[in-house]
Amino acid sequence: MISRTWTRACCCVFLCITCLAFCGVEPAYASSSQAVKSIKSSKAARPKQPAKSTTPTKSAAPEKSVADQQGPGRISADAAVLMDVKTGDILFGKQENKRRPPASTTKIMTAILGFELGNSDEVVTVSQKAANVGEATLHLDPGEKINLYELITGALVKSGNDACVAIAEHIAGSEERFVQLMNMKALALGAQNTHFGNTNGLPLKDHYSTAYDLALMARHGLSIPQFASITRQKETEIHFLEPDVMMDLRNTNKLLWNYPYADGVKTGTTTAAGKCLVASATKDGRQLLVVVLHAPDRFGDAKKLLEWGFNNTEIVHLANAGQTITEFTKSKDPVRVFTEAPVDVSIPKTERLKLQTHIVWEKNGDLPLEAGERLGRWEIWLGKQKLGTVPLLSERDVAKNHSLLSFYSFGK
């Protein structure tokens, strides 16, 4: 079972990376002892209860964000990034590409692979190794049985380090193999400055990420309905199958209580990493994502950045899916070209007049052409900064002798 899962997992991530390379897609533009006793008593005493979207491709990690010169003012974080979830555009950055220890924000990737490579209702048996993991934990015991979904919930809401190891061993057979998958998935998502050494973010020398990379990973996580649903919960409970008990969980993300638009994602804290937070919020139908690393006032920083983003930036719609952009006129028989997906960009409201688009043809006039073939790209610029690149595709086939046949047909 584990062997088949491991092989399937490797193939899945490998194909993702291969597809990105083949298509020419550029990476997208991130307890006290009293508490222990309380949790253990809850876990042991409670009886069983009834069970209760494609965007323009971005240039790799921009050196400066769109709004570096118009940011929200001082924040306490050493590194930060603000991203629009729909478009993937970076609205603010501060040392967003600097490698730093990510602490428990690591669990974002662990949860992603848990959902993508496992089935939520699979039963996980806790190993001795998982039960021995320290720091923030669910206080798992060897031999306990619990569904994978409940275990992922424990990792995301309560930040259980032991839950992460149990997830990894169930999916890949060992934490070491699972970590390999984490690194492959990070690369596939465009997180080029990330390297994981474990599944939970406990201090390790060769374990690092960046604010930008964590935003990429969190954005992907939020596209998974179960992930998004779990991370927005203030409080919840998980059900153990053996022994048949419930455990109460309270989310470590205090932004869910003190900012009305907050709807995710994950905290992280270690001595080396400092206080970290990956947070999302939705206001008037628009969702933004913020990452702050080594931030003494992480919740204040996040709220400040999110409010600035909602108030000072906007999404500009440039094209619908399948919309014709122009004609490819390098051949004797002009062909209309289109964008396969909707094209939207997020920019500061004051910069809208600087928004420009340019067409760059990548193919000469040689025939034949195939329907859906990439003929060029549509570049989107804000002043001197390129925001993204959209493939321009041929609307129809054009045979090699098409123009000649048309001439003789017309002559008749």
Instruction: Give catalytic residue positions.
Output: 104, 107, 159
DSSP, res 333: S
Pairwise CA distance, residues 244 & 15, whole Å: 40
Q: Which of 43, 140, 59 shows the shortest CA–CA distance to 345?
A: 59
Relative to beta strand 90-94, strand 324-328 is: unpaired
Relative to beta strand 286-293, strand 274-283 is: antiparallel
Pairwise CA distance, residues 257 & 269, whole Å: 19
Give the orientation angle of helix 161-172 with respect to helix 175-188, to 10 degrees. 90
- Tokens standing for residue 88: 């993937």
Pairwise CA distance, residues 180 & 197, whole Å: 9
- Tokens standing for residue 338: 């289109």
- Number of other residues whose CB lies within 10 A of the CB of residue 164: 33
- Tokens standing for residue 373: 């073939």
First to last CA, the chain: 68
Pairwise CA distance, residues 176 & 108, whole Å: 17
DSSP 3-state of 338: strand
Decide if 224 contacts 185 (C-beta within 8 A).
Answer: no
Pairwise CA distance, residues 68 & 82, whole Å: 11
- Tokens standing for residue 218: 């969190």
Residue with the two structure tokens 């974080």 = 77
Pairwise CA distance, residues 294 & 99, whole Å: 12
Pairwise CA distance, residues 159 & 104, whole Å: 7
